[in-house]
Amino acid sequence: MYNIQKVDLQNWQEIPILRQYVDDLPDKPYCSYIKNFCEIRAKKCAIERVYIQPNPPVRVNYIVIDIDHPNGIHAALYDADLPPPHLIIQNPENAHVHLVYKLKHPVYMWGKAKAKHIRYLARVEYGMVRKLGADASYGGNLMKNPLSDVWNTYTTTAPLEGYTLKYLAQFVNLDYLPSDQEAANDQGFGRNCTLFDQTRVHGYNESTASYDALVKLLTPIAENYNNQFDVPLFGNEVMHIVRSIARYCTRTDFTASHQRFSETQSIRSQRRWGDSTDTQKQALQMYAKGVKKTAIAKELGVSTRTLTNWGLRKKKK
């Protein structure tokens, strides 16, 4: 049985995990007193708000899981066969909770970022969501602030140094992540992967442009894709992704590197899905004849998102 302790928020500075949590917050996090609204404030002001941004855009220190049913604490500690979260923040009115898992090694989303690490994080997070029966549509932009007296905050026996992704992966089924033919819309860090993949191809086609020119070109493209999410990423997260793509595309060895990458991805894709060239042509022909996307998807056995990625979009008037 895990030792769960309710926090006396008047003395939160005496609790190591809460001190660490505050140290890890962004210097100027998004925060709010109410849902569906946020503002940027200095950390010393933001920690007084009811909701707060848990991770800076450049890296992920904490996985936050949203459980919208009254059995969230029991599920986290006993039912799901997962290690205990570091923090549990509970709504006293309906018993819904946010579970906070500290990562031993942060996952970088920009600068030191590696796509394979971000995808691994997305897989682990989604596996945890499935096991806990949590809200897969929770975007993670804002969480219940564990320092707010609006909530009940609890600590557990989770190790202060945090969990590695490799350790957490032992408890989940990594195959739960949606396939490449499904949109990772609002599935936590899957949104970062989706936005990166959708935007980068536009940068590859403009690899002779300067860094500044690419940032200017890719920003509205990325913003457009981001706005298609039910819960979009914050603007600074979008800009980090854009700048990362622009920096990669303007490297001197980009052409040869991208060619090798494209060849590898093509081989992997064909091994997994087969060559879809003929299917794409058939889809485009059907769409040109006025067949609805839902009917095309059913006929060809693909998702409507795949059809959109293949170019089946309504023309703007």
Distances (CA, A) of 251 to 226, 248, 258, 273: 25, 6, 10, 31
Top pLDDT among 260 and 205 is at 205
pLDDT tens sequence across 172-197: 988 755 444 344 444 556 677 777 77
Top pLDDT among 240 and 74 is at 74
pLDDT band (50, 70, 90) for residue 268:
low
d(CA 120, CA 169): 9
d(CA 96, CA 89): 8
User: Does the model's pTM come out above 0.75?
Assistant: no
pLDDT over threshold 50, residue 91: yes
Q: What is the mean pLDDT of residues 129-137?
A: 86
Q: What are phi and psi of 89, to 5 degrees?
A: -115, 115
d(CA 38, CA 31): 5
Of the chain, the end-to-end C-alpha distance in Å amounts to 61
Q: What is the mean pLDDT of residues 3-10?
A: 91
pLDDT tens sequence across 71-88: 889 888 888 889 999 999
pLDDT band (50, 70, 90) for residue 274:
very low
d(CA 56, CA 293): 38
Top pLDDT among 201 and 111 is at 201
DSSP sequence for 176-222: GSPPTTS--TTSTTHHHHHHHHHHHHHHHTTTTS-HHHHHHHHHHHH
56 within 8 A of 107, measured Cβ to Cβ: no
Specify the range with the lowest mean pLDDT, choosing from 47-51, 149-153, 156-160, 230-234.
230-234
Give pLDDT, residue 79: 84
pLDDT over threshold 50, residue 169: yes
- Residue entry with tokens 């971000």: 118
> Which of 19-33, 220-234, 295-309 has the largest mean confidence?
19-33
Give pLDDT, residue 308: 77
Top pLDDT among 317 and 100 is at 100
